[in-house]
Structure 1
Amino acid sequence: MASEKTSSQKTRILIISQHFPPEKSGNASRISDMSKFLVGNDSEVTVLAPHPNFPHGSFKRKWIISEERMVNGVRLINLFSWQPDSKDPGFVQRMAYYLSFPFHAVLWSAFNYRKFDVIMTSAPPIFTGFAGLSSKVLFRKKWVMDIRDLWINASISLGFLKKGSFFERISRMYEQACYSRADMIGVTTHELGEDIIRTYNGISASKVKVTPNGVDTNFFYPMKMEKKDQIIYAGNIGHAQDLENVILAMKKINEVYHLKFIIAGDGDIKAQLQQVVTDKGLEEVVIFPGLVPREEVPKMFSESLIGIAPLKKLKTLEYAVPTKAYEYMACGIPFVGSGEGEIRKLAELSGGGIISANSPDAFAETIMALLSDKQKMEEMGKKGRDYVEKHYSRQQIASNLRSNIDTILFRNVNADKIKGVSYAGSE
């Protein structure tokens, strides 16, 4: 069916995301920046998101069916979904939260699909794809899947999902249906795209485009201020992050350097880590300030010596690059990370980071070696800033995404002529 839209008109984009500010998750800021910069690239953007509820229990419940407002030129529509009111909701409450929003989005899209040229769904959670799949099948809308990680693989490796279980099989069937029907699959790293092609049948490499997390380099930048004796982690305090080993490393580090380790944010294992800090007598060394307003984060990074980006060493996390690594580099501080795959590539290619082995002693030695060479730290900070400005600014990523959206709207791409996963724009 031919599109009624001509290339001279603004592209009308609907983005469906489980998270959006004032929530402070990494994907909330990613979708906020992406939508804002898409508007700057001659697009009309509407974002569907639930009423703010993450981290759970930190927002007052809202019972309004829908609420609309303009944010940075973006039309934001918050839809009713179930809102857990405890910090650690049980399985039933979590599933009600994850499922009620996409089903509401399906209903909303069914009455409003004519207002949009393309629908973009952001995952995880995987259920946001329901609205994109229904709009593709029923109304033949163009559909972009924005994929940030392989949720099923990660859940299995972290012990939340049993391999071969009924739930895994159903989830794989659903994802196969989504990937097969999507017009474009945006992935944050090359490895993630290759994993999707290897795991699922008949996925054309031509429609898999690398759309990195990136960073708003105008918002995150090196501020001129006196450095504090601290290293910092800011973000989700979850199971994939190897924060416990960094905490345990602080005892050895503080035998030489009197540093504080700031862990800003919230998440499923925060209480567990706080207990580790108490058990080890590190309450004066490891500080948990909680959720920090986004506008304060660049200052916190700029006044810190090193940013920490620790991933557990799991095969299923080799595709991952934490957004915070880009943000540290944008603020001109080196980062110490852990894990393999894409995060190691970023550290080596940028010159802005160092990868440690996943143990307290290794973290301690890596951090202390860096602290002992202030010139190296300054050079790494400059290299990191230069690298993200050139390769990972969200402004440029949004421009490249818009170009790829134009491609699926106006051109027929011959998938057989394209090999491998391509970047969302020129490399």
Structure 2
Amino acid sequence: MKILVISQHFPPEKSGNASRIFDMCSHLQKMGEYVTVLAPHPSFPPGSFKRKWSVFESRKMNDVNIINLLAWQPKSQDPGFVGRMAYYLSFPLHAVIWIFFNFRKFDVIITSAPPIFTGIGGIPAKLIFKKKWVMDVRDLWINASISLGFLKKGSLFEKMSRVYEQFCYSSASLICVTTEELGQDIVKTYKNIDKNKLRITPNGVDIDLFYPMETPKKNQIIYAGNIGHAQDLEDVILAMKKVNEHFDLKFLIVGDGDIKGDLEKVARDNNLMDFVEFPGLISREKIPKMYSESLMGVAPLKKLKTLEYAVPTKAYEYMACGIPFVGCGEGEIRKLAERSGCGMIAENSPDAIADIILYLLNNPEKQIEMGKKGRAFVEKYYSRKQIASDLKSVLECIEFEKPNPIMSDGINYARSQ
């Protein structure tokens, strides 16, 4: 198959979705498929890359064809609404133009969201050029934007976005979602969505890159990923005050994002800079060692109904590296903690988070046991190589119009769990 992937994020960007798309495409390419990726010039987090204004640039990574298209590139770390919309919309509109001139080069198109606007490229590919269209949905972007205060409920923009999403879901050949709850939310929110089109393809983890390394442990806990509004990192920072009354412990917040500056201010204002470090963006290849030398990782989602479908990629990475994780939030992240035996979920407050961290610090044997369970769990269920292999089988089904067996609830699983 000749597969076209449209993604807003791709390496050298270091977001979780960039690495996931890269791994998926690399594995599909190694399995004999011909993969091309359309992405904007690297620009996330905003301001971390030099702006480029060339119309397009082509390159290869792991034999995958990469085409970077011209799109608006915000400069400020936390862009306003207009800047964000220019960034989100200019890329897929450019992708549509590219597709009109290159549609004969591919059989199947995969559009990865968020943001939701990547689906704009799938519409002409499916309706005009009759290509198979797979929507890869990682996030209920509209719901999350409303709950985080970026979008007003009932606004004209929300209504227009809902109509657009309804049209995309109805038109797509297949809808891949990360979790069962995300699939159920889509079916509840939008009318007449055929459950047979839904399939669960988890975020997963590259278990060959992320594994427990034999390195001395440091008195540190770690968060690595996008430093964004959905993460309750402020409460973890404040928890360090109570934790360090009993242990000499550092909290590393690795990465960049919209609220990094705000979190640095929280740490300064609370005299916690001795306990909280912001190393900035670190190459993906160095992260597994940082995990392995940490005592535990944190995956603190805010307690919002609209985030109950989410499982942060970093939680799988912690497990793959053999360290337990402390999470916050409800829904899928709690299920993952319970099913794997590798996580503990705290209420969203500094005291509650501190208490669980202290419990694990006081029980080193428990940390080791949880870490081993986590590694075994991701090896069995969440290897990105296996997830890509399952996706390949699904793509072959829709390409050659073969039946695709479904589960009793109408939602397919990439791997039985």
TM-score interval, smaller chain: over 0.9
Q: Give 5+ residue unaligned stretches, structure 1.
A: 1-10
Q: Which residue of 2 aligns with 1:216?
A: 206
Alpha-carbon distance in 2 for matches of 1:417, 1:148: 21
Aligned to 1:138: 128
Match among 182, 188, 201 for residue 192 of structure 1? 182
Distance in structure 1 (CA, Å) of the matches to 2:373 and 2:414? 23
Distance in 2 (CA, whole Å) between partners of 1:346 and 1:316 is: 17
Kindly report which structure 2 residues correspond to 1:9-408, keeping only aligned pairs within 5 A, or say none. 11-408=1-398
The alpha-carbon deviation at position 63 of structure 1 amounts to 1.4
Tell me the alpha carbon deviations over residues 18-44 of structure 1, each in whole angstroms, 9 at most, x when there is no partner: 010000111100100000011122211
Q: Is the 8 A contact 2:394 2:404 kept in 1?
A: no
1:4 aligned partner: none
For 1:423, the equivalent position in structure 2 comes to 413
What is the SS of the residue equivalent to 1:194? helix
Contact 1:45 1:74 in 2 (8 A): yes
SS of residue paired to 1:154: helix
- Go from structure 1 to structure 2 and tell me whether the alpha carbon gap of 1:425 and 1:406 turns closer, same or farther (over 3 Å shift): farther
Q: TM-score of the superposition, structure 2-length normalised? A: 0.98
Using structure 1 for the length normalisation, give the TM-score: 0.96
Distance (whole Å) between structure 2 residues aligned to residue 99 and residue 416 of structure 1 = 34
CA contact under 8 A between 2:10 and 2:18: conserved in structure 1? Answer: yes
What's the offset of the Cα at 1:191?
Answer: 0.3
Distance 1:155 1:127 in 2: 14
- Asked if 1 retains the 8 angstrom alpha-carbon contact of 2:213 and 2:292, the reply is yes
**What is the alpha-carbon distance in structure 1 between the residues aligned to residue 363 and residue 261 of structure 2?**
34
Provide the rounded CA distance (Å) in 1 between the counterparts of 2:111 and 2:360.
Answer: 40
The 2-side partners of 1:395 and 1:339 are apart by 28
Distance 1:418 1:368 in 2: 42
Say if 2:8 and 2:40, in contact at 8 Å, map to a contact too.
yes
Structure 2: distance between partners of 1:202 and 1:358 = 36
Deviations 1:200-226 (A, max 9, x none): 111111110001000000000000000
Shift of 1:269: 1.1
CA contact (8 A) 2:43 2:49 kept: yes
Change (3 A) 1:380 1:296: same
Q: Which runs of 5+ in 2 are unaligned?
A: none
Q: Distance in 1 between matches of 2:402 and 2:164?
A: 26
Cα distance, 1:70 vs structure 2: 1.1
| Post-superposition CA distance 1:37-66 (Å, at most 9, x none) | 111222110000001011111111111111
- Give 1:416 deviation, angstroms: 9.8
The Cα RMSD (Å) is: 1.3
Contact 1:217 1:389 (C-alpha < 8 Å) held by counterparts: yes
Amino acid at match of 1:63: W
In the alignment, the residues of structure 1 paired with residue 298 and residue 128 of structure 2 have an alpha-carbon distance, to the nearest angstrom, of: 46
Whether the 8 Å CA contact 1:15–1:120 is kept in 2: the answer is yes
State the percentage of identical aligned residues.
67
Superposed CA deviations along residues 119-177 of structure 1, whole A, max 9, x for unmatched, are 00000111100010121111111000000010011111111111111111100000000
- The one-letter code sitting in structure 1 at the alignment partner of 2:393 is S
Shift of 1:88: 2.6
Secondary structure in structure 1 of the residue aligned to 2:253: strand
TM-aligned CA distance change 1:415 to 1:383, over 3 Å: closer
- For the residue of structure 2 that corresponds to 1:289, the secondary structure is strand
Distance 1:204 1:405, change over 3 A: same
CA 1:336–1:404: 2 relative to 1, 3 Å: same
Which amino acid counterpart does residue 128 of structure 1 have in structure 2?
T
Query: For residues 417 and 72 of structure 1, do their structure 2 counterparts lie closer, same or farther at Cα, with a shift above 3 Å needed?
Result: closer
Note if contact 2:381-2:415 (Cα within 8 Å) is conserved in structure 1: no
Q: Give, in whole Å, the separation in 2 of the partners of 1:297 and 1:414.
A: 38
Q: Which moved more, 1:344-353 or 1:60-69?
A: 60-69
Distance 2:154 2:93 in 1: 27
In the alignment, the residues of structure 2 paired with residue 388 and residue 134 of structure 1 have an alpha-carbon distance, to the nearest angstrom, of 37
